[in-house]
Amino acid sequence: MSAQPITNSDGVTGPEGFRAAGVAAGIKASGRTDLGLVVNDGPRFDATGVVTRNKVKAAPVLWTQQVLTTGALRAVVLNSGGANACTGPEGFQTAHATAERVGEVLGCGAVEVAVCSTGLIGAQLPRDTVLAGVDKVAAELTDASEGGDGVAAAIMTTDTVPKQAGATDPAGWSIGGTTKGAGMIAPSMATMLSILTTDAVLDQPQLDAALHEAVRLSFDRLDVDGSMSTNDTVLLLSSGASGVAADVPAFTAALTAVCKDLAGQMQADAEGVTKRITVRVTGAATEDDAVTVARTVARDALVKTAMFGSDPNWGRVAAAAGYADAAVDPETLDVTINGVLLCRGAVVAGNRDDCDLSGRDVLVEVGLGLGEGTAEIRTTDLSHAYVEENSAYSS
């Protein structure tokens, strides 16, 4: 029996050995919750992470990359209301000072504290406000469900709902997690922050391999708008508090399921979404080719607008597949939308009127007929609301 993901779990406080809290520190003018803290009480402190591949990295990403080289973390401090990106030496000093303050209140070193931020690019974070917020949030730490709820709320920007998931294995270990992200979503990951916790006993290299595999199959395959953020960060912390040494393949599968659950929640809450689209490619020459074709179709503006209009326009899908940087042969190219075969061998094969796109979920299947490679990319439609939101909201 394998672990099963449970959406809306206790999140990061689900596994044993973790405390968390979220508070309104005053970073956001709205007065909403904007600062979160996750603390690992051990007995183990193994940690790993994946960050954005964007060459323009925010100060907290640069700081977190440094501290991750130790393979251990005692805490993660997170804020919304400001990305602390493109803020120069002053921004890096703010990230460092934040980690130092967390270390002071917890009795650990700054190098044991990761920092994550999300919000407006180019503006300095109010350092004194953040540091005072650290004192405030530390006083609220709890291992109860409200701790995880507080962190989930603290990292929301354009998100409309908090996002949490978890899994418990019959062997006695658990995984919990929270994420944020609604737009600017493309590999590496999204304009997202995600904190994952576990009480399983695993060494750091095992955690690292599991996280990279999970991210590859989940967050890296969510592509709302093709835009890559400066702040993307996914962290995995292990307390080992269950005392149970996890089977590595079982742990990797459970972690992947939790990450896919969180990615699905981001897709469902994407900016301006009216259609949740899955592009599934089969028969590719390689898995990499399958990913490339699926991502190309998922990003194509004409495909996305057709889906918004509930138009099963297979021609746009075929055209997008044809310009992908992958092996594609029109003689073996098939397109099926919501179960209706509309194109076979790049020629019309079905009746569009038979394809019902009235619901929110759309499955676009592209058969390449060239090999065994398969992949799925999740995306959304391109709606009026997406354009309106992103023309009015600075990011």
Q: Which residue matches tokens 């057709």?
A: 306
For residue 15, give the 3-state DSSP assignment: coil
Q: How many CB atoms lie within 10 A of CB 41?
A: 16
CA distance 15 to 215: 20
Q: How many CB atoms lie within 10 A of CB 203?
A: 14
Let me know: does 270 contact 380? Beta carbons within 8 Å: yes
Among the listed residues 18, 57, 24, the one whose alpha carbon sits nearest the alpha carbon of residue 130: 24
CA distance 395 to 11: 27
CA distance 95 to 91: 6
Q: Given the DSSP bridges, would you call strands 193-198 and 233-238 parallel, antiparallel or unpaired?
A: parallel
Helices (H), 51-126: 59-68, 88-106
Choose the catalytic residue: 118, 191, 198, 278. 191
191 catalytic per annotation: yes
Residues designated catalytic: 191
